[in-house]
């Protein structure tokens, strides 16, 4: 599903501030995998996630998504993958705080002009499934960190995302909320959704069957903690 071959990422190439953020990254993630990526601050985790999500492109190397070279895709095709196949759960949640939970979940459809009552009903069912029943009309800036993460997950599910990419999803949560968010992600994985989580938290990584560690831009598979 996701194949990275000899991926390199260099920021500000040729300048004094040049940073070699990713070095010779070879990584395969299959459909239905649940993967944790850990590593110290500045090691290249977010850079890697942004490349996988199609938000950024590598300086060199090949990235295939479902067998197709991403560099050969049109902007439209890349955009479709980013918006429909991949649900990004960001560190800062990526939600509109002044909008309601329901509107945040439906936002991609509203923007795309496809919003209708059927979609609203689907969004309500998903909100219930992720543990947020009855909160549809609440503004997201009135929710707890754990609840906001669930709204972001609900938005990805409402778009029928096949992959959820989560950058430090539990960074702002206490241990009880971390556990229940991980329970939800594991359940979604059991239902066939591919999950990729970047986390500093060993407890989060321990619950993922496949684990990688990045250090100074290089990645290696690990199972030992």
Ligand X SMILES: Nc1ncnc2c1ncn2[C@@H]1O[C@H](COP(=O)(O)OP(=O)(O)OP(=O)(O)O)[C@@H](O)[C@H]1O
Q: How far is the CB of 215 from ligand X (least distance, A)?
A: 10
Question: 19 or 83: whose CB is closer to ligand X?
Answer: 19
CB 37 within 8 A of CB 214: yes
What are the residues binding ligand X (CB under 6 A)?
Answer: 11-12, 19, 21, 39, 41-47
Q: Which strands form 60-65's sheet, in the order they lie side by side?
A: 19-29, 2-11, 60-65, 68-69
Q: How far is the CB of 154 from ligand X (least distance, A)?
A: 25
* Positive or negative: CA dihedral 20, 70, 96, 143: negative
Q: How far is the CB of 106 from ligand X (least distance, A)?
A: 30
| Strand-pair partners of 38 | 213
Q: How far is the CB of 91 from ligand X (least distance, A)?
A: 8
Question: 22 or 102: whose CB is closer to ligand X?
Answer: 22
Q: How far is the CB of 90 from ligand X (least distance, A)?
A: 11
Residue partners of 79: CB distance under 8 A and separation at least 6: none
Q: How far is the CB of 48 from ligand X (least distance, A)?
A: 7
From the list 208, 130, 195, 203, the residue with the least C-alpha distance to 167 is: 195
Question: 21 or 29: whose CB is closer to ligand X?
Answer: 21
Question: 121 or 222: whose CB is closer to ligand X?
Answer: 222
Q: How far is the CB of 55 from ligand X (least distance, A)?
A: 11
Question: 12 or 191: whose CB is closer to ligand X?
Answer: 12
Question: 89 or 143: whose CB is closer to ligand X?
Answer: 89
CB 44 within 8 A of CB 198: no
Question: 114 or 225: whose CB is closer to ligand X?
Answer: 225
């Amino acid at each position: 599903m996701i194949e990275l071959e000899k991926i390199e990422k260099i920021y500000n190439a040729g300048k004094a501030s040049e940073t070699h953020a990713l070095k010779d990254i070879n990584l395969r993630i299959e459909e239905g995998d649940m993967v944790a990526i850990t590593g110290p601050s500045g090691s290249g985790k977010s850079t890697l996630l942004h490349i996988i999500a199609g938000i950024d492109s590598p300086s060199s190397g090949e990235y295939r998504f479902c067998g197709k070279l991403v560099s050969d895709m049109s902007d439209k095709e890349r955009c479709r993958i980013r918006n429909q196949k991949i649900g990004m759960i960001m560190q800062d949640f990526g939600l509109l705080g002044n909008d309601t939970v329901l509107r945040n979940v439906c936002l991609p459809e509203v923007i795309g002009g496809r919003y209708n009552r059927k979609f609203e009903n689907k969004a309500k069912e998903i909100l219930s499934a992720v543990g947020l029943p009855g909160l549809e009309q609440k503004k997201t800036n009135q929710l707890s960190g754990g609840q906001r993460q669930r709204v972001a997950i609900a938005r990805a599910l409402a778009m029928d995302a096949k992959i959820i990419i989560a950058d430090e999803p539990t960074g702002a949560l206490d241990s009880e909320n971390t556990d229940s968010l991980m329970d939800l992600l594991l359940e979604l994985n059991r239902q066939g959704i591919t999950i990729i989580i970047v986390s500093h938290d060993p407890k989060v990584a321990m619950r993922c069957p496949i684990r990688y560690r990045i250090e100074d831009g290089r990645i290696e598979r690990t199972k030992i903690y």
